[in-house]
Amino acid sequence: MPYPQGVTARRPPAARSSAPAELELIERIRLRAVATRTRELRLGIGDDCAVLRPHPGEEIVVTTDLSLAGRHFRMDWHPPEAVGHRTLARGLSDLAAMGARPVAAFLSLGLPRELVEKHTGRPRKTWIDRFLDGFLALADATGTPLAGGDLAESTVFAADIVLLGAVRRGKALLRSAARPGDLLYVTGSLGGAAFGLQRLAEWRRASAGSAEVSNIPRSRAAELGRHLYPQPRLAQGEALVRRSLATAGLDISDGLSTDLAHLCEESRVAAEVDAQAIPIASGATLEQALHGGEDYELLFTARASARVPQAIDDVPVTRIGRILRRDRRRPQMTLLTAQGPEPLLARGWQHFSQPIHDVRR
Amino acid sequence: MPYPQGVTARRPPAARSSAPAELELIERIRLRAVATRTRELRLGIGDDCAVLRPHPGEEIVVTTDLSLAGRHFRMDWHPPEAVGHRTLARGLSDLAAMGARPVAAFLSLGLPRELVEKHTGRPRKTWIDRFLDGFLALADATGTPLAGGDLAESTVFAADIVLLGAVRRGKALLRSAARPGDLLYVTGSLGGAAFGLQRLAEWRRASAGSAEVSNIPRSRAAELGRHLYPQPRLAQGEALVRRSLATAGLDISDGLSTDLAHLCEESRVAAEVDAQAIPIASGATLEQALHGGEDYELLFTARASARVPQAIDDVPVTRIGRILRRDRRRPQMTLLTAQGPEPLLARGWQHFSQPIHDVRR
């Protein structure tokens, strides 16, 4: 029956030997994915479900993130490798935020036909091949096996990433466990992704049509890197849990101001941030550090008595403020500046916002 | 920073009290989802990840399915409740195929704005509310908690469903374990979903513009039901595992001919199907029973010595053929008809096929 089915990423029946491009793609994904099987992943791509055998004494954490062309990235701005990297990094950062290690990834792709068929740039690969290069490079680097997913033809590119992680029973880092008196910390530096996006937009607009999307010149790699290739803080999250350093935590995906609001809301507390203590990324402004999204650093709280190191695995850890009791007479979040305290508003998160096309015009 | 973020299905910060439609939606999903928390699901919507505590001695199975408007259903044919039901049923059927029970669902939605804002039909609900009605009714009926997901605005409706299930360690029903001499069984009846789709298409085309999409008259419910509201065979899958009845199994999502080809391929065997033994759904043809997709019945094998009951939980179980040794001198699959044996070709699965708009013209 000629009825449309989503293409499950499993081996096609042998009868279809003259495999068209999309079947070759499925087979390539399968072959590349099989290479990263682990002891926990008993069965990956190839059956109705993947099968995982959790370690005793561990809990499983799960996160899903949807990435859409025109909303989370632009086809004419972002190299496919960066789209693949960012798709996986978003999910891995959620695992890091729980202090979990990656166990398996599942990738569902809605694909316009030309991304599967048409070759782009040098070397001559299709867009989706290069997307997978970026995705699988980060998967390899973080020990994350690709265990399954789904494919279907679509009018717009859509990628839903699902990540499963493992963390010691009862030890996952929650948003709801910050207490008044706790100190507030952040890993790495902030605003670098927003600065990178700004530079990317300026550059792409200036060179509209002339520079090939696929290539980022070496001279620009540094300033665009934090936006194009963010690094999820897995080692730092795991260390916080292993050493029982943090009381609560999350990742900064929506911007410091908005993610701190999430923390305050879930923990029913208030917070105070010292503007001068914020580690601002090279080139970025305080505005970008406060409200810029997608830095994928960790924001966490610790008891005042905890001995929080100045760096974990070579990534700096900076104290930026503290947790206060909720009090109607003051704002939920306060920014301490050289001019005195002022309310800090959550301005990082744009739900159902304008697509990336309309940003910064 | 006005940078577009996918809306994670978590509580918005309190600062945003004048919640627009999409924030109300997130809050509604959260409230409705919280009601179905279980002992295994330690933490649902509201943090970076959901947290699951697997039972000792069990393995976790995972499946993801992507549903796209225009490809897996039509906005102008399918009532929103049916789209919600079918989205979840696809995933639950994959769990049933492994013999697993549902543990948690995650739903990522790419939503055109009008589906969130515009009211349709009576009672006055938005499309997405009615989608959730259908989705959550099946979730409740099968004890499947909605544990998380993601939302983003999109130009086309996209839903990615992720399901986690649990099954006794080492007992999951695989595709790869059928052996020559095993007998071949199917639950329920086949072709009903294809017949329902055919009737739906005829009816919608005849009444184009006049009948309201949202309402299916009672008189049509029976013939359309197998297409609009398929029932995943969870109880049957679990019983096959609990009673150690089956050697291998999968669900019939792509059509009997194509799914049997998957089984043969993964188990490296051949198969023979008796055309006259196939339980054809009321109204359907043998063609539809052989190649029609989305029946979501289970196809399984059992040793010839196994005592397979004639029904499990009131759903009939029918022997339709047997597994043979692979042999180059005969086709992978053979259909035994009154006119003699003929090769059975996998004709159910259309990868990257034409969208549903173009089907059956």
Q: Give pLDDT, residue B12.
A: 33
**What residue of A is the nearest CA neighbor of B343?**
A15
The answer to whether A164 contacts chain B (CB < 8 Å) is yes
Q: Give pLDDT, residue B349.
A: 59
Residues B14-20, mean pLDDT to the nearest whole number? 38
Confidence of residue B5 (pLDDT cuts 50, 70, 90): very low
Q: Give pLDDT, residue A168.
A: 94
Question: Residue B113: which of B28, B24, B30, B21 has the closest Cα?
Answer: B21
Expressed as residue numbers, the domain containing A72 is 21-168
Confidence of residue B17 (pLDDT cuts 50, 70, 90): very low
Same domain for B45 and B156? Answer: yes
Q: Give pLDDT, residue A8.
A: 36
Distances, alpha carbon A255 to alpha carbons A197, B50, B160, in Å:
14, 21, 26
Same domain for A69 and A145? Answer: yes
Question: Residue B180: which of B348, B346, B311, B330 has the closest Cα?
Answer: B330
Same domain for B90 and B206? Answer: no
Question: Within 13 Å of residue B31, how many CA atoms lie on the same side as its CB?
Answer: 7
Compute how many other C-beta atoms are within 10 angstroms of the C-beta atom of residue A43.
22
Confidence of residue A53 (pLDDT cuts 50, 70, 90): confident
Find the CATH number of the domain harbouring A128.
Answer: 3.30.1330.10
Phi, psi angle pair for B136, to nearest 5°: -75, -25
Coil, helix or strand at residue B223: helix
User: Would B90 be classed as within a structural domain?
Assistant: yes
Res. A5: pLDDT tops 70: no
Q: Find out whether A106 and A66 touch, Cβ atoms under 8 Å.
A: no
Confidence of residue B227 (pLDDT cuts 50, 70, 90): very high
Residues of A in contact with B355 (CB under 8 A): 4, 153
Q: Find out whether B246 and B178 touch, Cβ atoms under 8 Å.
A: no
Tokens 């704005």 correspond to B113
Q: A359 and B46 in contact by Cβ < 8 A?
A: no
The answer to whether A88 contacts chain B (CB < 8 Å) is no
Same domain for B138 and B195? Answer: no
> What whole-number distance in Å separates Cα of residue B287 and Cα of residue B280?
10
Res. B148: pLDDT tops 70: yes
Q: Give pLDDT, residue A258.
A: 93
User: Would A292 be classed as within a structural domain?
Assistant: yes
Q: A162 and B52 in contact by Cβ < 8 A?
A: no
User: Would A176 be classed as within a structural domain?
Assistant: no
Task: Classify residue B54 by its DSSP letter.
Answer: P
Condensed to tens digits (0 to 9), the pLDDT of residues A137-186 reads 999 999 999 988 888 888 899 999 999 999 999 999 999 999 999 999 99
Q: Interface pTM (ipTM) of the complex?
A: 0.84
Question: Residue A97: which of A259, A229, A225 has the closest Cα?
Answer: A259
Q: Give pLDDT, residue B360.
A: 32
Res. B346: pLDDT tops 70: yes
Same domain for A245 and A325? Answer: yes
Condensed to tens digits (0 to 9), the pLDDT of residues B181-205 reads 999 999 999 999 999 999 998 888 8
Same domain for A114 and A200? Answer: no
Q: Find out whether B322 and B271 touch, Cβ atoms under 8 Å.
A: yes
Residues A8-31, mean pLDDT to the nearest whole number? 51
| Interface test mutation site (partner B, options A352, A360, A361, max chain B beta carbons within 10 A) | A352
Give the whole-number percent of chain B exceeding pLDDT 70.
Answer: 84
User: Would B15 be classed as within a structural domain?
Assistant: no
Q: Give pLDDT, residue A277.
A: 98
User: Would B360 be classed as within a structural domain?
Assistant: no
If one counts the domains in chain A, the total is: 2
Q: Find out whether A103 and A60 touch, Cβ atoms under 8 Å.
A: yes
Condensed to tens digits (0 to 9), the pLDDT of residues A305-361 reads 999 999 999 999 999 999 999 999 999 999 999 999 999 999 885 544 434 433 332
Q: Give pLDDT, residue B4.
A: 26
Same domain for A162 and A204? Answer: no
User: Would B312 be classed as within a structural domain?
Assistant: yes
User: Among A210-214, B142-146, B233-237, which is the least confidently predicted range?
Assistant: A210-214
The answer to whether B158 contacts chain A (CB < 8 Å) is yes
Res. B77: pLDDT tops 60: yes
Confidence of residue A28 (pLDDT cuts 50, 70, 90): confident
Same domain for A146 and A260? Answer: no
Find the CATH number of the domain harbouring A243.
Answer: 3.90.650.10
The answer to whether A183 contacts chain B (CB < 8 Å) is no
Q: What angle do CA A13, A18, A21 make, to 5 degrees?
A: 95
- Those residues whose C-beta lies under 8 Å from the C-beta of residue B20, and which sit 6 or more positions away, are A352
Same domain for B135 and B191? Answer: no
User: Would B359 be classed as within a structural domain?
Assistant: no
